[in-house]
Structure 1
Amino acid sequence: SSVSTVNTANITSDPCSVYRNFSSNGRNPIPYYYSSGVYDDTLVEWNGWYRLYLQGSSAQIPELHWCSSYMVCGGYAALLLEGPHPLPEDGIVTRDIYGFYPDISGSKQCSKNSRSNPIQVKACPGNYFVYRLVKPPVSLPMPTYCAVVIDTPSYDPCSNYTSLDQSWRGTNETGGSNCDRSTNWNGWYRLLYNGMSTQMPESCVNVSRCGTDVPLWLSGSHPQISDGIVTRGICGNYGSDCCFFRSFPIRVKACPGNYYVYEFVKTIFCYSAYCAGGRLQCPPRKESPVARCEDHHASLFYYYYYYYYYRPQ
């Protein structure tokens, strides 16, 4: 990691005016088996405030919902921010930092049991953050502050997406070893099931469904249109724990017309895949005769049910 100092014309005590640019290349979250493990932030002489960059783009320390199975950030213990980032009007805030080890079992890595030293954070005009980073405790093995790029799309994902209609992703589909780590995701996607709009499930999906071994479901509720783009965690069911595995989080947006778009990313392991069919969407300006159209799991039964009741007149 490299550091350079930014010093604006008017020297003030505002950390948004005086900070150090910190190149965080190699600190993005990746599976530990792809990591070279070169960083140890107990060896860095931290001094003052820092603005993070990753591959030339403004970056930030990810929050706890970024924790994923087998995750490291260039060292061993991945350091994440507890609590949300502040707004500009909040001024300087203090946030706790937690370290997460790449537990090989996958089930305990995201347990909040390894606290690092707290840091200060401030949101700055221009949509970036500065951090007063401090040395983590040496009790954490090779702790490293993580960095991710959270950019705002230059277009509306609701009008620029790819339709993803693969019936094997249905929550009732069994068999198969599909793996979304092998998929070259690019941009935003709208989920369909046999041509009908659907969404990711928000609750546990049985093992070996959705055409894969570990079916992935959305941890947290879908957003409202007023929420804009939100980030949600991804859980994978494996045995007795519905969130035994955690894959990388994704971004989600609610769109006019009662559908969602998702910014899918490569999953953290094989064999795992995103599920489709949490519920079917009511057709525009239609109401289900049983008022349950948002509760139906995607299946051919409901596909033909909707076709019969809502086919063009």
Structure 2
Amino acid sequence: MLNVSSFIMKVLYLIVLAGRLGFAIGVPDPCIDGNYNYLHTPGLRGGACKIQSGKVICDRYINDGWYKVQHEDDPGPRKMLEGRVSPNYCGTSRPIWLNGSHPDIVDGIVNRTTCSHGIHGYCDNVYDIQIKACNSGGYVYYLRQPQSCNEGYCFGVNSPCAKPNPCEPGNSQILHAGEDRSTSCQEKHMTLCDDFMNNVWYRVQRNGKDIKMPTTCVDQHSCGTVHPIWISGSEPVVADKVVSRKGCVNNGNTCRCDKFYNIHIRNCSTYLVYNLTSTTSCPERYCFGHEGECSKKDGKNNLDYLNYVYASVAAVIMLLVLVSIGGYGWYRKTLRLRKIKSEGAMSEKPGIEHLERKEAFQKT
């Protein structure tokens, strides 16, 4: 009997332990891939990330369920902030923080409460959640839908706002590259320049199709300019995320890359995006694509264009000068005529009065 009782006690202990660890029959382990979702906008949930205009986090519309929180640049999953958080941090105006501590792996799934900051203090609204520490590292959280916006869960102790992913819509600009940017456009008279470029992410397209920068040396007088710019190094793969590369300028020293610009590149699976900077001198220009012809319209010399602008401005200025001179002459002439009329009227007035006095004397 003792052996049977001991065996039953051991089984019950194992059942209780399994329940605590979340492995009970019919209860899926939330740490296993597929049993949790990733919480949206993880890069703005850090404790050191102030609220951003136009990008305010609102968890009002999340579904109740298990979540893991990790930004693509994070080395591992993020941890919910323990202790109260000031308003306007974690990317939202009313941050939600953990009112308690995190469990250990042996604790299994535990119940915890969270608080959101409001007009009455740091714990206006209370939400019951669950947490489990995973063997693979990090935690998963059973989160509940907050009552209102803008309430958002805080994840990432002392984490600043993450840089935007240039592959996501709205985080890059379309650079429409004409055929004159191709390496096959070779005209010695063309001196186009990229000194106007903004330091932003560009998705480069020609006729709606994505094109790339060349990764081999480009001859001078190519790409519609004198000193073309090409990439030194290989293109990144998706897993590389953002990489740094040299944008080499062919300044006459063949392919030595004596002068270069630091640029960044990211592989967005089906296309590349480039973080470019404006050139410091002209004529220098980034090359994109290998096929195309120098279009007469796109291939006009910058100098010709500037000459046209200068000539137009000079013509306008000359016209204004002539109009001013003519207007001033007309004004002087008008004043002179008015003066003559005034003097004539004054000289005629005494003669009329003399005749009137003479006629009155004769009548008497």
Per the normalisation by structure 1, the TM-score is: 0.39
Query: Which of the pair has more CA radius of gyration?
Result: 2
Return the structure number with greater strand share. Answer: 1
Higher share in helix: 2
